[in-house]
Amino acid sequence: MTISPVRPAHEGAVGNGRITRPVLALSLAAAAFVAVCVAIWPPTKDLYDLRVYVAAAKAVLHGQDIYTAHHASPDLLGYTYPPFAALLMAPLGFLPTGAGRALMTALSALALLVIGSVTFRALKPNWSTHQVLAAGIALGAAGLALEPVRMTFHYGQINLMLLAILMIDLFGHLPHRFRGVLIGIATGIKLTPGIFIVYLLVTRRYREAATAAATTAATMLVGFLAMPDAAWKFWSTYVFDPTRPGSSTLVTNQAWRGVLGRLNGGPQGVEPFWILAILATLAIGFWTVRRAFDRGRLLESVLLTAAVGLLISPISWSAHWVWALPACALLWSRATTVSRVGLAALTTVTFGIGLPWLAPYLDDRELHHHGFELYLGNSYAICAAVLLIAAWRRRA
């Protein structure tokens, strides 16, 4: 019998050698970042959208109608997601208010770190895991400089969590047989991620598209089985009501429908122009997406799809534009010419400052913008359109 010599632990290892100094440092940095986010948005801070989620969660637990639960609090808007999402949020109904707020903030902070790491893995496929994680933490922290990210924390929304699970799926960080599942779950929660099922079809990833579509259908079935009345109301009525989340002409709605409504002086009569804008955006956008994908630009193809989805959705509140974070990272990584530096700077400034908020808003002041206010009040949509056109016109 041969006895193998015992190798000394690697320098910096802890315990059995599996926890190295880089791992420990990265773990502490991630924990510190989460703690900072909870300190910035403490459990004492009112997170408005989280209150809407909690109202629906408690309605689930008490067998009440999730779509009328907000009537008990006149200052709340109605719940707008499918019943499946309410089922996932049901545990929030068990938590004290402060604990629920802390949990939501912590989950969003962790999602931000995932987004940063997946982005850097796509940008730097040859980097080591430690390098990617370190850069991902830095990018996640930098994300707090962007208005959509800050607003997601401010309202207690789920945008960052949805973005994280979508990126995990789209960039192949799941076993092959499960790819498409997270896209389907995200679509079952908030519908708009369904644009990525179209993306999978356009890029000829048919098996993943079928998995995503089947998973979405399964979430709908779960909703009908658990809450048949609520599911029927949602899919027959509420899903077709664009005013339920709030006025589409508010400056914070940076989708084409909001832009056209503001330019028109109101939402009446914009439907034909909105449909034309949708068709043009889909045609240009997915032609550009397919070309980017065929040239091996996976991150670019995904971000272009996100831009298309945000523009054509009836409502894309400013907080929904969290895709600006990986977009800024991609643009700065390619900023090798004056024009590319200009695009990166335009995107960073637009989403960093939150330019739409500099235009007059509330009390229908959005309907009377003039001069430079027209640009400010529609700047997210304009920036996305500029990026789509720039990608469409690029030859190499």
In terms of residue numbers, what domain contains 381? 248-396
The number of folded domains in the chain is 2
227 shares its domain with 262: no
pLDDT of the residue at 396: 59
In a domain, 6, yes or no: no
Question: Is residue 14's pLDDT more than 90?
Answer: no
3 state DSSP class of 14: strand
Mean pLDDT of the chain: 93
Question: Among residues 182, 170, 167, which one has the least CA distance to residue 136?
Answer: 167
3 state DSSP class of 4: coil
Looking at 178, 207, 239, the residue that finishes a domain is: 239
In a domain, 146, yes or no: yes
pLDDT-based confidence at 6, cuts 50/70/90?
very low
pLDDT tens readout for residues 128-182:
999 999 999 999 999 999 999 999 999 999 999 999 999 999 999 999 999 999 9
pLDDT-based confidence at 352, cuts 50/70/90?
very high
Contact 305, 384 (CB under 8 A): no
In a domain, 152, yes or no: yes
* Bridge partners, 19 (sequence order): 14
* Bridge partners, 33 (sequence order): none
195 shares its domain with 265: no
In a domain, 51, yes or no: yes
Q: How many residues does the chain have?
A: 396
Question: Is residue 10's pLDDT more than 50?
Answer: no
pLDDT of the residue at 76: 86
Phi, then psi, of 317 in degrees rounded to 5:
-60, 160
In a domain, 285, yes or no: yes
Question: Is residue 15's pLDDT more than 90?
Answer: no
pLDDT-based confidence at 385, cuts 50/70/90?
very high
289 shares its domain with 222: no
In a domain, 218, yes or no: yes
Question: Is residue 109's pLDDT more than 50?
Answer: yes
255 shares its domain with 234: no
Q: Provide the token pair at 268.
A: 């009446």
Range 56-69 average pLDDT: 94
In a domain, 22, yes or no: no
Phi, then psi, of 14 in degrees rounded to 5:
-125, 135
pLDDT tens readout for residues 251-292:
999 999 999 999 999 999 999 999 999 999 999 999 999 999
258 shares its domain with 204: no
Looking at 239, 263, 291, the residue that finishes a domain is: 239
Question: Is residue 110's pLDDT more than 70?
Answer: yes
293 shares its domain with 177: no
pLDDT-based confidence at 18, cuts 50/70/90?
low
225 shares its domain with 291: no
Contact 183, 166 (CB under 8 A): yes
256 shares its domain with 395: yes
Looking at 211, 239, 267, the residue that finishes a domain is: 239
With a pLDDT cut of 70, the percent of the chain lying above it is 94
pLDDT of the residue at 395: 67
Rounded distance between C-alpha atoms, residue 369 and residue 377, angstroms:
8
pLDDT of the residue at 16: 54
With a pLDDT cut of 90, the percent of the chain lying above it is 88
Question: Is residue 2's pLDDT more than 50?
Answer: no
One DSSP character per residue, 244-287 reads TTS-TTSTTB-SHHHHHHHHHTSSTT-HHHHHHHHHHHHHHHHH
Question: Is residue 8's pLDDT more than 50?
Answer: no
- Higher confidence at residue 385 or residue 74? 385
114 shares its domain with 228: yes
pLDDT of the residue at 73: 84
320 shares its domain with 229: no
In a domain, 10, yes or no: no
217 shares its domain with 288: no
Contact 177, 208 (CB under 8 A): no
306 shares its domain with 212: no
